[in-house]
Amino acid sequence: MHVEKIYLDHAATTPVLTEVFNAMKDVYLEHFGNASSVHSLGQDAKELLEQSRETVARSFGVLPEEIVFTGSGTEADNIAIQGTAFKQKGQGKGNHVITSNIEHPAVQQTCRYLEKFGFRITEAPVDEDGIVDLDRFQDAIEPETVLATVMNANNEIGTIQPIREIGEILADKGIIFHTDAVQAFGKIPINPETDGFQLLSASAHKIYGPKGVGILYLKGCGKDADGNPYLQPIMGGGGHESGWRSATENVPGIVGTAKAVEIAFQELEEQANRETRLRDRLIDAILDTIPNTVLNGHRTKRLPNNANISFEGVDGEALLLRLDVAGYEVSTGSACASHGAKASHVLQALGRDPRTMQGSLRMTIGRSTTTEQIEAFLADLGPIVEDLRALSQKI
């Protein structure tokens, strides 16, 4: 059995690239000034900050002033959702928000928080593959709807949503559209011009950048075609990031983020193709060789690196622990919800029965994953599953 650690949990976080670390190290040691300071050291930091903003914007195909740096993807989600909802309600435009029933907790819990302030939340359902039902989504729209927030790709099952179609539906109604792209950003093509969203959230540590830096895209710099802001800041302070996110900017982290974004978009197609081949080998081999297994999420409309499979008759936590002892680091679902005992709300939304949900395993491939590692994992997985099933029958 394999003992050297093999990391297959890249959806939870990724290791920092050497190029990213080196870029950050130089800033920490040589350019540590506060970007708001007027002296030369502060202005050096300010220049690095704006250069980083330009790099991210250029890679993503937007304007630099449309990029806001935050402390995390979760914070970017909160600014987008709370900021828009409160602004729109304050202008008397409505109090209804539409989301999906498989969103990440950063979106799901933020929407539920809004209910304390009189907002009504509708969670549009998904089909058995985890794709938002567009007819049900459109039926949920009402005159009071001011915001829709639907993730670009699901963090647990990897299913990619029909963002462009959703954007078209909302554009006809004049409803603001936010997409949580934390898992999708830098992994699959995203087009701000054609996909129809005004707001997008991303996170550096999902693309081999540092933890503690998020990205928020604000179309039109947060203003509509008439120049009126469609959202508002949710945190008071010194007016950093053009007033959208007050707090001293994490310049070293932002410089590292820019480097990570640059590399991710330059190598997006190459990495996507390579990871897709490994993903498909992983999925096909498990479904073909291990009986009573179920793929969670759409077979092809999924992130290149994501494989989520349920093993009937096996406890997911027990499987995870056995694999960890064997040297494989995987997960049972979202790392952000792994401390609770509740069943995955994503798998529940797919209509999975409790027995199937209990044995779910998420395996996510990364830049360093090799064919040899996948084959080693497959060689060990089958016997471990068989052993756990045998043990469960004895209990």
**pLDDT for the residue numbered 392:** 78
Q: What residues act catalytically?
A: 336
pTM for this entry? 0.95
Residue 341 scores a pLDDT above 70: no
Burial of residue 113 (number of CB atoms within 10 Å: 0-12, 13-18, 19+): middle
- Tens digit of each residue's pLDDT (9 = 90 or more) over 71-117: 999 999 999 999 999 999 999 999 999 999 999 999 999 999 999 99
Q: What is the dihedral of CA 254, 255, 259, 264, to 10 degrees?
A: 0
With vertex at residue 298, the alpha carbon angle to CA 294 and CA 304, rounded to the nearest 5 degrees, is 105
User: What's the number of CA atoms in the CB half-sphere (13 Å) around residue 188?
Assistant: 22
Whole-number CA gyration radius for the chain: 22
Q: What is the mean pLDDT of residues 180-201?
A: 96
> Which one, of 243, 245, 230, lies nearest residue 88 by Cα?
230
**Distance (Å, whole) CA 186 – CA 266:** 9
Bridge partners for 363 per DSSP? 307
Q: In this predicted structure, which of 150-154, 223-227, 230-234, 332-336 has the lowest mean pLDDT?
A: 332-336
Answer whether residue 44 shows pLDDT above 80. yes
Q: What is the pLDDT of residue 395?
A: 62
Question: Which letter does DSSP use for residue 302 in this model?
Answer: B
Q: How many whole angstroms separate alpha carbon 128 and alpha carbon 352? A: 8
Q: Residue 143, CB half-sphere, CA atoms under 13 Å: how many?
A: 1
Average pLDDT over every residue of 245-252? 95
- Report the helix count and the strand count for the chain, using DSSP H and E: 12, 12
Q: Which domains are delineated in the chain?
A: 6-15+268-394 (3.90.1150.10), 18-266 (3.40.640.10)
Beta pairing class for 120-124 and 96-100: parallel
1 pLDDT more than 70: no
Q: What is the pLDDT of residues 265-312, one digit of tens each?
A: 999 999 999 999 999 999 999 999 999 999 999 999 999 999 999 999
Contact 31, 17 (CB under 8 A): no
User: For residue 3, what are the CA distances in angstroms to 240, 366, 374?
Assistant: 48, 19, 14
Identify any residues that bridge with 200 across adjacent strands, giving them in sequence order: 179, 217
Mean pLDDT within 150-179:
97
**pLDDT averaged over every residue in the chain:** 94
The confidence score (pLDDT) of residue 36 equals 86
Strand duo 96-100 + 145-149: pairing = parallel
Rounded to 5 degrees, what angle do the CA atoms 24, 14, 350 make? 145
Buried b (16+ CB within 10 A) or exposed e, 181-209: bbbbbbbbebebeebbbbbbbbbbbbbbb
User: pLDDT per residue over 108-144, tens digit each?
Assistant: 999 999 999 999 999 999 999 999 999 999 999 999 9
Q: What is residue 211's predicted lDDT score, i.e. its pLDDT?
A: 98
In 228-261, which positions are buried (b, 16+ CB within 10 angstroms) versus exposed (e)? ebbbbbbeeeeebbeebbeeebbbbbbbbbbbbb
Mean pLDDT, range 60-79, rounded to an integer:
97
Mark 42-58 as b/e (b = at least 16 C-beta within 10 Å): bebbbebbeebbebbbb
**31-36 average pLDDT score:** 90
